[in-house]
């Protein structure tokens, strides 16, 4: 299983995915430069990713907490999510996201 992550330079990285891990944890574990300042507590917006539209529709709904925290993103896109709030399961094999400017170190 894998996810595809595009970094700040437009380069796509294929990352091995692990069931039960959050997308932020997988990106961080792969050594990509993601800020994720609060470490996954949903109290900043520095793990902000833009999800590819088809995949966005397949993700569980944002919680109110995540919607609120996205207000701290400097620009919010239609398919913006906080990657610490997306838990990976096999149905997300192949998930495509792009690091938003907020998340780039």
Partner 1 sequence: MSDNAHQTDVIIVGAGPVGLFAVFELGLLGLKTHLVDILDRIGGQCAELYPEKPIYDIPGIPVCTGQELTDKLMEQIAPFDPQFHLSEMAEELTRLDNGHWRLKTDAGTVLEAPVLVIAAGGGSFVPKKPHLEGLDDYEGESVFYAVRQMERFRDKSVLVAGGGDSALDWFIALQPIARKIALVHHRDGFRAAPHSVEAMRAIVAEGKGELHIAQMKGLEGTAPHLTGVRLEGKETGAFVHECDMLLPFYGLTMKLGPVAEFGINLEQNLIPVDTAKFESNVPGIFAIGDINTYPGKLKLILSGFHEAALMSQAAFKIARPGERLRFQYTTSSSELQKKLGVR
The residue behind tokens 């610490």 is: 84
Cβ(88)–Cβ(23) under 8 Å? Answer: yes
Q: What does the per-residue mask of binding to partner 1 show for 52-81, with x meaning CB under 8 A?
A: ---------------xxx-xxxxxx-----
C-alpha 41: how far from its chain's center?
A: 14
Binders of partner 1 among 11-40, rule CB under 8 A? 35, 37-39
Q: Which among 105, 56, 104, 54 has a CA at the least distance from the CA of 80? A: 56
Should residue 101 be labelled a site residue for partner 1 when binding is judged by CB under 8 A? yes
Could you tell me if 4 and 97 are in contact, meaning their C-beta atoms sit under 8 angstroms apart?
A: yes
Q: Which C-beta is closer to partner 1: that of 1 or that of 30?
A: 30
Q: Between residues 20 and 78, which has the closer beta carbon with respect to partner 1?
A: 78
* Spatial separation of the C-alpha atoms in residues 28 and 61, rounded to whole Å: 23
Considering the rule CB under 8 A, would residue 43 count as an interface residue with partner 1?
yes
Tokens of 24: 């932020």
Query: Between residues 15 and 45, which has the closer beta carbon with respect to partner 1?
Result: 45
Q: Is 46 in the site for partner 1 (CB under 8 A)?
A: yes
In the complex, which residues of this chain contact partner 1 (CB under 8 A)? 35, 37-39, 41, 43-46, 67-69, 71-76, 101-102
């Amino acid at each position: 299983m894998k996810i595809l992550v595009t970094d700040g330079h437009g380069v796509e990285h294929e990352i091995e995915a692990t069931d039960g891990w959050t997308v932020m944890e997988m990106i961080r574990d792969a050594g990509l430069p993601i800020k994720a300042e609060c470490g996954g507590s949903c109290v900043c917006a520095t793990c902000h990713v833009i999800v590819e539209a088809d995949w966005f529709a397949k993700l569980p709904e944002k919680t109110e907490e995540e919607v609120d925290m996205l207000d701290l993103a400097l620009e919010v896109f239609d398919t913006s999510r906080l990657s610490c709030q997306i838990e990976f399961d096999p149905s997300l094999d192949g998930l495509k996201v792009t690091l938003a400017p907020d998340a780039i170190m």
